Amino acid sequence: MRRRDPDAEQFRRSRIELSRMGGLQTGFGLWPGVRVATLALAAAVAFGAAQARAQSVEELQQLSIGELSNLDVSSVSKAAQPLSEAPASIFVITHDDIARSGATTVPEMLRLAPNLFVAQTSASDYVVTARGFSGNSQAQSFSDKLLVLIDGRTVYTPLFSGVYWDMQGVLPEDIDRIEVISGPGATLWGANAVNGVINIITRKSYETQGGFAEVGGGNLQRYAAARYGGRISPSLTWRAYVQEVYGTDTLTSTGAPASDHWSRPQGGFRLDWTPRASDTVTLQGDAYYGTEVATTSIGGGNLTARWNHNWAGGSNLQVQAFFDRVVRGTDNAGGSGFWQNIYDLDAQNSFRLGERNLIVWGGGVRFTQYKIAGAGSLQFSPPARTLDLENGFVQDTITLAKPLKLTLGLKLEDDPYAGLSVLPSARLAWTPSQSLMFWAAVSRAIRSPTPFDADVREFAGPTLFLKGNPAFETEKLTAYEVGVRAQPFSRFSFSASGFFNVYNDLRNIEFTPGSFVPLFWGNGMEGYTYGFEGWGQFQATNWWRLMAGLNLLSEHLKFEPGASTLLGIPQNVNDPSRQATLRSSMNLGPKVTLDADLRYVGVLPDPHVPSYVELNGRIGWAVTPKLELAVSGFNLLHDHHQEFPGPAGQVPRSVFAEVRARF
């Protein structure tokens, strides 16, 4: 990647800056009173989905060897198998799902997970949450409680714990699966796994040999990609790819172009080396550079190295190191922005202890170097720092009895602002039969303070208006979850889970007694949320699969005694209490696929965004095994609709035609 001089001229406006003070001031008028949402949780209708099912081994007997070699087996991948045993609310987006959705960007792929809320806010940007807390940009509260990983590399920014979705490109064709976990996940996941974990896993380079090319275009996006994979020696394979996403303008509320078009060319590689059967070594990297609205630039690059060693007895050691550089800036407001370099090293070791215990333990260190070049009204003090985050964990999965497993985990996390946190978790899985599992979990998770919580300085003219709070504490969650996952018939499977989350020390806005300003961040909110996530998958016939999902959420926050009630409850939560999806996937003969995806997203209460129903569809025609033509339609039911509060981001109806070729 291109390294850029960390000079204020070069750094431009950050996302933080985009939604700064002006919004906060007008915010006073927006929430005259505290309105606690009173949302009823409907009865739990068990609808769920698990993995795609296809032919049984008996049905395979009918196929010719040529048909066998052309059968896509990826939807039930080997590695996804242990997941079905994981005692958590996990939805797996398969390679097949992604290929059949026509999605080219990660957040559009995430719409396939029924346990997420995905809202497009501009041509390039999205808000993605699990179990609420999509925040409120006018109160400078951003969705910041997800851990997002791409091949083991964490991609949320330590500056405010949110994710710049416009910077997370992955070639769709190379993705093996996306595991979406709602809830705190387990001890093994890294920092910031508060309300969910999104784990994007790409295929190994020996699984992506040969050439692939795609070009597509439509009224809202243009896309081009090429990949080639080769073999240097029997034990060393590689692939390299380039892709470019170009998105045209979304609309303003009056239907005029919002002039937020963008483009992001990107390239990368992956090497997989197996020097011995017991060892695998992976080296991979990406680099990208993008422009948005002509004046904002994004850029970055990353490099990850991973070594995995298996001992004969089943013990395993994994060591991973990555470097990730992110640069964001704008020419507006005199030039502001930031760069950050993350250096991360993690190791984990697993082994069996006696007959009953499976131990996983490990730890990691992460250094984040950053420099923020503020605009006049938005500054950070200090503007540059090196943050160090250390963690250590141990987890024991104890087989209490044959079908009953208890997983106890303990994680220690030392962050630069709040110091040491102790995060215990306990998970119980009861698997009375191969096709049925009940699980329950209690876990503790935190969102650590960030520079945006501790160091921000915002000015209104010469007046210091908002000040970060060096004493800001971690936001804390204790999550109680129960769930069931089952496959009562070979053609039907479902997952249902319920949660009760107790939050403490959530961020609010405080004022200085007497002078009112500067405002500063406090830890003055608390409360609870509860909800239900369910999905089911039904293989109606060999050629027709149906999937339905339901997501219910009820949020009950209040201010802690003594806290200022400025901006009210909606500063943290403005989420749909109901979402539902219905998806149909058909194979019309061996060559034609037809997919339709209907989604309902409930109303966002305050600021108000109406509920909506939208439909995506795609028809694909494999002219030959090596050439596929497809036409997709996105958001077909309305001329345009709004998904999140804001002046722009009215998402128009769009169509997209594409050609995919293999060679």
Q: Which residues bind another protein (CB under 8 A)?
A: 43, 45-46, 50-51, 53-58, 60-61, 63, 65-66, 68-78, 81, 84, 95-96, 204, 206-210, 212, 234-235, 274, 276-277, 280, 312, 433-436, 484, 486-490, 493, 662
Task: Categorise residue 649: left if φ over 0, alpha if ψ from -120 to 50, beta otherwise.
Answer: left
Tell me how far apart the alpha carbons of residues 379 and 371 are, in angstroms, rounded to a whole number: 11
Q: How far is the CB of 242 from another protein (least distance, A)?
A: 18
Q: List the one residue out of 284, 119, 218 whose CA is nearest residue 648.
A: 119
CB of 543 to another protein, least distance (A): 15
Residue 221 CA to residue 103 CA, distance in Å, equals: 11
Cβ of residue 55: shortest distance to another protein, in angstroms?
A: 7
Nearest Cα residue to 557 out of 541, 570, 575: 570
If the CB atoms of residues 342 and 437 are measured against another protein, the closer one turns out to be 437
Q: In angstroms, give the least distance from the CB of 184 to another protein.
A: 26
From the CB of 7, what's the least distance to another protein, in Å?
Answer: 45
- Beta strand 357-373 with 378-380: parallel, antiparallel or unpaired? unpaired
**Closer CB to another protein, residue 276 or residue 402?**
276
Contacts of residue 443, defined as CB under 8 A and 6 or more positions apart, other chains included, come to 183, 184, 186, 409, 423, 424, 425, 426, 427, 478, 479, 481
Tokens 């190791």 locate to 347
Give the closest residue to 166 by CA, choosing from 267, 300, 270, 341: 300
Question: Closest CB to another protein among 81 and 253?
Answer: 81
Of 281 and 317, nearer to another protein (C-beta) is 281
Instruction: List the one residue out of 311, 321, 232 whose CA is nearest residue 276.
Output: 311
- Least distance from C-beta 393 to another protein, angstroms? 29
CB of 580 to another protein, least distance (A): 16
Q: Which of 317, 371, 326 is nearest to 153 (CA)?
A: 326
**How far is the C-alpha of 101 from the C-alpha of 110, rounded, in Å?**
11
Closest C-alpha among 172, 165, 284, 178 to residue 224:
172
Tell me the closest approach of the beta carbon of residue 208 to another protein, in angstroms. Answer: 7
Rounded to whole angstroms, the Cα distance separating 550 from 492 reads 16
Please identify, using beta-carbon distances, which residue of 61 and 254 lies nearer to another protein: 61
Indicate the residue among 56 and 219 with the shorter CB distance to another protein: 56
Residue nearer to another protein on the CB measure, 54 or 226? 54
Neighbours of 38 (CB within 10 A): 9
Nearer to another protein by C-beta: 13 or 177?
177
State residue 78 phi and psi, 5-degree precision: -60, -45
By beta-carbon proximity to another protein, the closer residue of 213 and 464 is 213
What's the CA gap between 81 and 85, in Å, rounded? Answer: 8
Q: How far is the CB of 540 from another protein (least distance, A)?
A: 16
- 372 to 103, 375, 379, 626: CA distances (angstroms): 33, 9, 8, 48
Smaller CB separation from another protein, 104 or 282? 282
CB of 401 to another protein, least distance (A): 19
Q: State both tokens at 194.
A: 């508060």
